[in-house]
Amino acid sequence: MELKATAIGKHLAQHPYNRVRMLNAGVEVSGERHQYLIPFNQLLAIHCKRGLVWGELEFELPQHQVVRLHGTEWNATQRFFHHLNQCWQRWSAEMSEIAASVLRQQLEAVALIAGNQHWLRREDLAVIQGGIREACQALPFPAARLDEFEHCRTLWRRCQAWLKEGETYREQQNDAWTHQMLQEHRDFFETIESAPLNVSQARAVVNGESSLLVLAGAGSGKTSVLVARAGWLLLRQEALPEQILLLAFGRNAAREIDERIAQRLHAEAITARTFHSLALYILQQSGGKIPRISQLETGSAARQHLLIEAWQQQCQNKKTQAVGWRQWLSDELGWALPEGEFWKDEKLACRLAPRLERWLGLMRMHGGSQAVMIADCPEEIGATFQKRIRLMAPLLKAWKSALKEEGAVDFSGLIHQAINALNKGRFISPWKHILVDEFQDISPQRAALLEALRRQNTQTTLFAVGDDWQAIYRFSGAELSLTTAFEQTFGGGDYVALDTTYRFNRRIGEIASRFIQQNPGQLEKPLNSLTLGDKNAVALLGEDKFEALLDKLSGYVENGQRVLILARYHYLRPAVLDKAATRWPKLCLDFLTIHASKGQQADYVIILGLQNEPDAFPAKTRESVIEQALLPPQEDFPDAEERRLLYVALTRAKHRVWLLYHSQRPSIFVDTLKQLGVPVLRKP
C-alpha cells in the first residue's frame, strides 16, 4: 500500500518527502532526492493530522526526531493511516510479549543478586543497573513505549526504579540486613571484646562492601573492630582462618593484634603481619631464592655510618662533587658550612646523616632508575632534581654494593620483589579478606602491594581502618590521598565512621575536632564522648609555668595515673625532668615526641613548644628538592600536617591538656586555639 502527495500538494508543500509506502515491518518515506526507511522497531508514534486542504502524516522517532509527509489527499491519508496503524499495533502487541519476557527475566536476575539474605554491594548494584541497560538494548522496540502495554508497564517501572533509585534501595536493604544481623547475633557483639561493641562499631563489622574504609577517630576502638571483623568472617563462615590477612605497620602493633586475636578468637591460624613480613612470606613461598633482610635495616646507626662514609669519600675524591654538595647544603637548605674540607666536620656529618638516610630511603621506595625518577619529577624542579640525584648516585651505589656483599635485601627492595612475584604469578594469594590497621599511613608502594594481591582474586575484600586526622608520616612516604580519596585507588566501596571515643572527654574532643576540621581537605566525621569535661579541660599556659604545673599535678594525680609530656622535637625535653624522680617521686611522668606518642594515651598531657622560633610548632617546612620530587605533594592548606600533629597530641589525654606557649613569640596555633574558645590560664 502506498500514499502519495497530490500534484498541487506536492508543488505547494515544497517538502523533501511526498510519498510513503508500507513495508513488511516498517514504512519507506521518500521524495525526488530523499529516501528514509523507518522500521517499526524505531517508531514511537504515528500521527494523522488535517490541514486546511491536505492531510499530514507524522512519524515520531527516538531522540526527538520527527519525519513528516505533507500534501496528501485527506481521505486517502486517513485510509493509509488506519491500515498502517493496525499493522503497527499488531506488530507491537506481538513484540510486547517478547519485551515482557526480557524484563521478567531481568527482574529474576535482579532478585538473585538483591536477595534479602545478604549485603548488597555497590558493584552488585552496578551489575543490576548494567544488566537492565543491556536488557533495554535487547528490546524489540524503544523502551519509551513500554508504558503503553499493561503486561510490560509494571515490569518496566520496577526496572526504572532500580536505575533511578538504586542507591536508595541498596541503602534500605543494607540497613534492614544490618539491623537483622545485629539482632540475630547480639551475643557475638556483646562478648567478642571485653566491652560490648557500640552500634557504629558493629555496623562497621558487618558491612559487606568489597572495599571499606573505617574512619576510626582517636580512642574509638579500632583494634576491637579489627578483631571483631575477623571473628565475624569466621562466624558467618565467609572465610577460613588461613584466608584472613591482617596487616599492621609496625611489629608492636602486629603483636598487639595477635594477642587480641588469640585471646578473643582462639584462632592461631590468623596472624597479623607487617607489610615487610608479608613481602618476605610471599617471596619465601614463590619458589625462588629466599631473601635475607640486610643488617643495615636493623638500626639507623649502621645506615648512617655507611652513607656518611660514602659521602665523605665522594667529596674527597671529586672536587666537582664537593662543589655540588656545598651548593646543595648552603643554597638550598641554608646551612652554614665551614670553609675548606667541610665534609670532615663531625657536627655537619651528624646533622646530614639523617637527611642522607631519608633521601636514600625515598629513592629506594620509588624503585625506578635515575632516568625514571627524573622523568617522574615535576617539570619546574626537574633541572635541580637531576643535579641532586647525580650527587646521590654514589651513595645509592654504595648502598647496593653493601647489600650485594651481604647477600641481602632492604625493606623497599623486599616489597618491590614481592609485587613482581605477584604480577608474574609466582605466588597465588590464598587470602579472601585483607584487614589493614592504621591505613592513613599507607604509602604508594604498600598500596601497590595490596592491589597486586587483589588483582589475583578480584573477589578479595579490603577492610581498611584508619583516621585521616592522624596522618603524620608524609616524611616517610605516606600519602594521605590514598585515604581521603580511597575509592579512586581501591574501587568504589564505602566508608563508615566510628562515632564514639572512649579515651577523652567531650571538651577535648570538641576543641580537637574543630581545630582539625578547619582544613577542608580532612574528611568530616562525628566523634562523641561518654564524659563531658569542663571548660579548662584544654587550656593554654605560659611555658614558664611548667614546673609549677608539675608541682600542682603532684598534689592531686592519683597513683597509677600517667602524665605525658610531649614536644615537637626530642631535644626540647626539659632538663628539669632529669630530677623528676626525686622532685616529683609520686608522678608517673613520660616524655615523648609527638610522633612517638601515636598510639599512646595518658590521664594528663602537657604539650610543650608552641612558639614562633627556629624550633617552632608548627615547624617551618624546609624540604630539599629530593623530598619535593619523591614525596607526595604537600596540601594546599597551611600547616596541614602540623595541625594533624597537634590533633594527635591533644587526643592522647583522658582528662586534661595544657598547651605551653611562648608569651612573647607564640605559635600561630595559639591564636587559632583562642578563637576556638581555649582559655588562657595565668597559673596552673
Residue whose entry in the numeric block shows the C-alpha cell 595515673: 561
Distance CA(562)–CA(59), nearest Å, equals 84
Q: Is the pLDDT of residue 573 over 90?
A: yes
**What cell was used for 478?**
605516606
Q: How confident is the model at residue 496 (pLDDT cuts 50, 70, 90)?
A: very high
pLDDT, average across residues 303-322: 95
pTM of the model: 0.88
Distance CA(675)–CA(317), nearest Å, equals 57
Residue whose entry in the numeric block shows the C-alpha cell 577523652: 504
At residue 439, the pLDDT reads 97
Q: Is the pLDDT of residue 384 over 70?
A: yes
Q: How confident is the model at residue 385 (pLDDT cuts 50, 70, 90)?
A: very high
Report whether 20 contacts 85 (CB < 8 A): no
At residue 11, the pLDDT reads 65
Distance CA(50)–CA(48), nearest Å, equals 7
What residue spans define the domains of the chain? 1-184, 190-293+413-501, 301-408, 506-681
Work out the number of other CB atoms within 10 angstroms of the CB of residue 262: 13
**What cell was used for 239?**
572465610
**Residues of the chain above pLDDT 70, percent:** 99
At residue 57, the pLDDT reads 92
| Ranges 1-15, 116-130, 506-520, 607-621, most confident | 506-520
Which three-class secondary structure state does DSSP give residue 502? coil
At residue 482, the pLDDT reads 94
Residue 149 phi/psi, 5-degree rounding, is -115, 125
Q: Is the pLDDT of residue 429 over 90?
A: yes
The class (CATH top level) of 506-681 is alpha beta
Q: Is the pLDDT of residue 288 over 80?
A: no
Beta bridge partners of 50: 55
Distance CA(169)–CA(23), nearest Å, equals 45
**What cell was used for 527?**
566523634
At residue 12, the pLDDT reads 64
pLDDT digits (tens, 9 = 90+) for 246-284: 999 988 999 999 999 999 998 888 889 999 999 999 999
**Residues of the chain above pLDDT 90, percent:** 84
Q: What is the pLDDT of the chain when averaged over all its residues? A: 93
Beta strands of 349-397 (E only): which ranges?
Answer: none
pLDDT digits (tens, 9 = 90+) for 533-545: 999 999 999 999 9
At residue 650, the pLDDT reads 98
pLDDT, average across residues 521-526: 92
Domain 1-184 matching CATH 3.40.50.9100: the answer reads no
Q: What angle do CA 41, 42, 47 make, to 5 degrees?
A: 110
pLDDT digits (tens, 9 = 90+) for 16-67: 888 999 999 999 999 888 889 999 999 999 999 987 778 889 999 999 999 9
Residue 179 phi/psi, 5-degree rounding, is -60, -40
At residue 54, the pLDDT reads 83
Residue whose entry in the numeric block shows the C-alpha cell 556483646: 190
pLDDT, average across residues 557-571: 95
Distance CA(284)–CA(427), nearest Å, equals 9
Cis geometry, peptide bond prior to residue 140 (ω within 30 degrees of 0): no
Q: Print burial letters for 39-74: b (CB count within 10 Å at least 16), e (below 16).
A: ebeebbebebeeeeebbbbebeeeeeeebebbbbbe
Distance CA(23)–CA(28), nearest Å, equals 7
At residue 586, the pLDDT reads 93
Fold match between domain 1-184 and domain 190-293+413-501:
no
Q: Is the pLDDT of residue 204 over 80?
A: yes
pLDDT, average across residues 344-353: 94
At residue 9, the pLDDT reads 67
At residue 493, the pLDDT reads 80
Residue 460 phi/psi, 5-degree rounding, is -65, 130
pLDDT digits (tens, 9 = 90+) for 88-130: 999 999 999 999 999 999 999 999 998 768 899 999 999 999 9
Q: Is the pLDDT of residue 13 over 70?
A: no
Q: Is the pLDDT of residue 457 over 90?
A: no
pLDDT, average across residues 457-482: 94
Report whether 523 contacts 480 (CB < 8 A): no
**What cell was used for 206?**
558487618
Q: Is the pLDDT of residue 290 over 90?
A: no
CATH superfamily for 190-293+413-501 is P-loop containing nucleotide triphosphate hydrolases (3.40.50.300)
pLDDT digits (tens, 9 = 90+) for 123-172: 999 999 999 999 999 999 999 999 999 999 999 999 999 999 999 999 99
The one-letter code for the residue type at 394 is P
pLDDT, average across residues 467-486: 94
At residue 103, the pLDDT reads 97
At residue 160, the pLDDT reads 96
Q: Is the pLDDT of residue 341 over 70?
A: yes
Q: How confident is the model at residue 568 (pLDDT cuts 50, 70, 90)?
A: very high
Number of residues in the chain: 684
